[in-house]
Amino acid sequence: MKLRNVCLVCLWLALHAFAASPRVAEYCAEIVDDSTYRPLLIKDLDEPIKDWIYPDSIPCERTPCQASWETESKVFFPYDIECREDGLLAGLFGGGGGGLAFCTHCPKRPIKLQRIEKIKLYGSKDMNGCCRGLQKDEFSRRTFHLRNARETLKAFYGMTFWGKWSGEWETNGNADLPPMERDFPAKLVGECNDTIPAVEYCVSGGKNVELHLVDYYDVLPRLFFSDGNNEKDDEENEDANKMICEGTMRVEKSYEMDFGKYGKRTLAHFVEQDTCHLTNIIATEVYIPIPKFIGADVLKGIPAKSLYGKRIPISSKNILNCNFDTVERNVQFYARIGGKCGKLDLQKKEKMNIFEFEQIEDIRHHTENMVHWISCGDDFVCPLSCIEVKDMLP
């Protein structure tokens, strides 16, 4: 009897320790060259913020009345400090997001502070300040200097290191609010490869199964219609990341997930084209239409138990007709299907807004803008005329 009690106590302690164990962020190592690598986030911390220490709103004392939630993070992965001529320690540019409240003409109204539900690393800035390897766009990454990086890192794969995260409100001087801070464990799992999932979904529903997007990750492919474009920004030329199409512009995109024996499901297929045959300024970076919510109508016939823990191939096809050229940018990556959705994971059950993935930036005739722009989604605007976006799905 005593032995049984001891076993029960040990089991209780083990379960308690498991339940109380901290969430672990995961990274892979992208080898840049023989002495440099980048840690890329492949599994976010995604930890609920239980104790929210901020008020619902703050008074506006100065304009513009705005408050943005900004996060920073860094990880302490292996590096060779003696090999750096500038003496700076390289960190990571990647991590969690936030919210924004903005008002330019209402100084008498309070600034509402959006409740942030989770600690997320994806989208955070690096705490180390400005060091080599930093670029201004959100997909840029910090580099770590490590001699013979590919071979040296093999001894560290599977090990857990520590990172630091902080989040705070930038209020433009309207309030002085304390930051939130958190140390977190970060595992370096191995060298990056194309099979590591770039997005993650959770499962909801019983017989009528649904998928809800949980996260994007740093290994999400980045495509460009222009061969000369890459992740480096040209700060001296604001049109460096744009293309000019004279008279002919058409973009066709599709997004398909392969569920194996249950078949392939096309989740997005649409066309964007110029109907006025003017001068079109389009973004060279391909905006991949990744659905945040996948409904039961699309997943009909797929049981929930067949999805848990699976890695699902995704095919993204993107074709641009510009002037007399046709440029095709296709890529395959993977989605991780996690467990059952928590209440904080659920996305809005609504159809994808394909207008949010338009490539068009401007329409001109003899250098003058020719169209009016209207709202076509949260924080998105679209041309009122000349550009047709047609959904090709039934």
How would DSSP label each residue in 85-129? TT-PPP---------EEEESS-TTS-EE-PPP-EE--TTPEETT-
Tell me how far CA of residue 174 lies from CA of 52, 62, 171, in angstroms: 19, 6, 5
92, pLDDT greater than 80: no
Mean pLDDT of 296-309: 94
Look up the pTM and report it.
Answer: 0.79
Q: How confident is the model at residue 96 (pLDDT cuts 50, 70, 90)?
A: very low
Q: What is the pLDDT of residue 304?
A: 93
Mean pLDDT of 150-173: 93
pLDDT tens per residue across span 224-235: 998 754 444 443
DSSP E strand boundaries for 120-276: 125-126, 144-145, 160-170, 180-191, 199-204, 210-216, 242-246, 249-258, 264-274
- The token duo for 62 is 């100065």
19, pLDDT greater than 70: no
Q: What is the pLDDT of residue 322?
A: 93
341, pLDDT greater than 50: yes
pLDDT tens per residue across span 136-154: 333 345 788 899 999 999 9
Q: What is the pLDDT of residue 213?
A: 96
